[in-house]
Chain A
Amino acid sequence: MADRIEAGVEYVWDEVREGEDGTLCIDEITAQTHTRVRKRHALAPQLGPCKRGMIRHVYLVVDLSQDMDDDDLKPNRLTCTVHNLIDFVHSFFHENPISDMGVIVMREGVARVICELNGNKDVLVEHLSALLHPKTPLFPAGEASLQNALAVARRSLRSIPSHATREVVIVQATLASCDPGNILDTIKSLRSDKVTVNVVGLAAAVRICETVCKETGGIHAVALDEDHLGELLLALTTPPAAPADADATQMRLGFAAYEGRRPTVRRQKDGQLGITTGGYVCPQCRAKVSDIPQRCTTCGLMLVSSPHLAKTFHHMFPLPVFKEVTLAAAEWCAGCTQPLPTTLPAYECPSCGARVCLDCDVYVHRELHNCPGCPVTADSWTQHNTDQQRQQHT
């Protein structure tokens, strides 16, 4: 609890004042605000290009002990957690299109897999939102067992081929764990199986969780409020840096073409079979699937599209950090065209010199991964790429 009180509370209301017409408005946006926002988005120190585990296998572990019913997060811990986890699933598959995820719940002292590892985010979202159903058999009850959950996850993850990551993400509400044996042994076997454990606490930092995360190379954090919980989870969607000794192989993938007018029988949302048009055709056996990425239901070939692979490009060649500059004369933001006053810092692209506002600086680094000012030409891209590769190799 102390964590939450002492942590960086942002006094956002300090910047709000009443305008002449009686409405609330924000003014006095200072350079300090800028620094704070930038820091918050961790734009200043950024990792250079590094090898990352692009193909991930993640078990989400949801605590369903009694402590999940607390209402310090609004409306209560369970609802807040599930909503944030659904967002997490969507962002995860946006960032890691050819990865798998499963769900484990900890309840009444046992851990149970409610959703096996799979790459279909709709299935995962369905299982997660079912936890909020008023008549769900999986209402929060009893105590959580960290050891059981880790053991269940490890059993399933150890059979994953070694070129993929093995990760566990635990959302924990309880401060106690009811374990059948010595959890330190479990930690040892997790280490030898190269399973990384990340824990996001809802209440306070727990010693044993810290140990698990530290020993397995994961991240341990405690959520301060609802938004912070979302941010902590979101941070875990970025592919982790791959260990130097990570195995690599070549994976055989099929690039499925979309055919808009070919009818297929498909199971609809309500469970009924129906005929739909539109789908992706397996290049190996010509069977059709409704959505990619997924395995071909007939021949088992993993089907993706070339854009899926391009998604990871920005991890290999990240957009350089923009320099903070003070403007001599007012100008316009190169991204969104709003005026850049001389009183506030602007941000300058090191390769093209375009200046952008803070909004755009955050947006281009967090989501777009392109500079709005850099004209893309054949020369500049190849130059950029070879430079980056040379850096990477040295």
Chain B
Amino acid sequence: MSSLFVLIVDLHPARWKQLSEDASLDEAMNQICVFLNAQLSVHVSNTIAVIGAAPKKSMFLYPSAVKMPSPDDRQELFSEMNATILANATKLFNEQSGERHPSDLAGALSKALCFINRTVRGTSLQPQHTTASSSVTSRFIAGDKATPASSSSSSSSSAPKAAGRDRVSSGARVTPRIGVVSVSPDSSVEYFAAMNCIFAAQKNDVPIDVCAMGEEAAILQQAAHLTNGTYVKVHHPSQLLQSLMMGFVTSSDAHVLVRPVQRRINFDASCFCHGRTVDIGYVCTVCLSVYCERLASCRICGAEFSDKPGA
């Protein structure tokens, strides 16, 4: 069974600098590339994609929209891939200006889910020139079309029928996963957009694995928990490769063996009235906004609350 792995790398310049003086981004990216090469080596039809999340901007690092040469053997493919990822990551890392903004993780997750949706469900609403029998491996040859990710449209045989329930109908089953290498703490501004991504991932059975460097990322911790993914904490960038290898195992069977257990995950909400964190709250039954006290009317949707408390 082949896998589709989409890795999201947080490229927040300020956070990386904060993280450690001696470890550079290049070194971490090299470790990530080693991990990705290993991923591809596990199964001949495994595919990967890499997305960079920088402040206010996220983009695909691989497959990249610029022209990709067509390597003949896998060895060459690996070196091409590594070079592309490194070049694009460095470019995105250096062009950043708005360092006080948080990384666009929600945008990166959205892109990853769109990519997975198209690749796994393969609804083929766009002409793809792939025949029903085209094997997933053909993507290695198909590189010369200079198309970004003309990969593994495994169920192009299905009629134009978008987003149906019949993901299973695709011939070669591809199991998608998302991995996130994060260096940023939570930014509550992204909360709802990130939550939308998590619910979509949960609904589509896409586990989100998280590798948090530096500070804890509470939203990502919830993401991993809600999607049945793994959350690992890395204290120093030099441990990155090992953590990725142990935590982000693609085969779901092998996953059981090494899953780290989360000691405690808070699902507290913060109230709309004071921004306090509450573990018992009063929720508007119309819009579900959370308050820490009883009010006469809802401040978000304006509904008047009747006196007697419900349920």
Contacting A309 at CB < 8 Å: which of B60, B118, B225, B269?
B269
Give bound CA distance, A19 to B129, whole Å: 10
Contact A310 B192 (CB under 8 A): yes
A163 contact set on B, CB distance < 8 A: 285-286, 306, 310
**A23: Cβ under 8 A from any B Cβ:** yes
Chain B residues numbered 250-291 whose CB sits less than 8 Å from any CB in chain A: 261-269, 278-288, 290-291
Bound Cα distance A301, B288 (Å): 16
Min CB–CB distance A389 → chain B (angstroms): 7
A259 to B225, CA, bound (A): 11
Task: Mark contacts of A193-232 with chain B using CB atoms, 8 A cut-off: 1 yes-contact digit, 0 otherwise.
Answer: 0000000000000000000000000000000000100100
| A21 CB, nearest partner CB in chain B, Å | 7
Would you call A26 an interface residue if the criterion is a C-beta within 8 Å of the partner chain's C-beta atoms?
A: yes
A24 CB, nearest partner CB in chain B, Å: 5
* Residues of chain A contacted by B161 (CB below 8 angstroms): 12
A258 within 8 A of B: yes
Please give me the residue from chain A that is nearest to B160 by CB atom.
Answer: A33
Question: Which residues of B159-191 have CB atoms within 8 Å of chain A's CB atoms?
Answer: 159-165, 187, 189-191
**Min CB–CB distance B47 → chain A (angstroms):** 13
For the complex formed, measure the closest distance between the CB of B299 and the CB atoms of chain A, giving whole angstroms: 10
Structural contact, B263 and A260, CB atoms closer than 8 A: yes
CA distance A376 to B111 in the complex (A): 13
Give chain B's interface secondary structure class: loop
CA–CA, A368 to B106, complex, Å? 11
CB of B188 to closest CB in A, whole Å: 9
Interface size on A, residues (CB 8 A): 102
Residues of chain B in range 43-77 having any CB-CB distance to chain A below 8 Å: 56-58, 60, 63, 65
Does chain A have a CB within 8 A of B303?
Answer: yes
Residues in A whose Cβ lies below 8 Å from that of B18: none
B195 in contact with A252 (CB, 8 Å): no
Which of A15, A251, A335, A377 meets B111, CB within 8 Å?
A335
Within 8 A of B (CB), among A229-265: 230, 242, 246-261
Chain A residues in 8 Å Cβ range of B288: 54, 309, 312
Q: Does A283 contact B (CB under 8 A)?
A: yes
B222 within 8 Å of A (CB atoms): yes
A323 at the interface (CB under 8 A from B): no
Q: Are A250 and B119 in contact (CB under 8 A)?
A: no
Provide the bound-state CA to CA distance between A94 and B204, in Å.
11
Interface set, chain A 246-294, CB cutoff 8 A to B: 246-261, 277-278, 280, 283-284
Q: Does B193 contact A (CB under 8 A)?
A: yes
Structural contact, A164 and B63, CB atoms closer than 8 A:
no
- Contact among A94, A250, A261, A358 with B282 in the assembled complex (CB-CB below 8 Å): A250
Q: Of all chain B residues, which has the CB nearest A20?
A: B131
Q: Which 9 A-B pairs have the closest CB atoms?
A: A335-B114, A305-B267, A248-B303, A12-B159, A283-B279, A249-B310, A250-B282, A306-B269, A336-B118
15 A–B pairs (Cβ distance < 8 Å), ordered by A:
A24-B132, A26-B156, A26-B159, A52-B286, A54-B286, A250-B295, A253-B280, A304-B267, A306-B290, A313-B196, A337-B63, A358-B125, A362-B162, A366-B163, A370-B110
Q: Contacts A40-B162, A335-B114 given; 19 further ones with Cβ under 8 A?
A: A21-B131, A25-B131, A29-B125, A29-B160, A94-B203, A163-B306, A163-B310, A248-B305, A249-B305, A257-B265, A261-B263, A306-B269, A310-B192, A310-B195, A338-B128, A362-B162, A375-B57, A381-B190, A381-B192
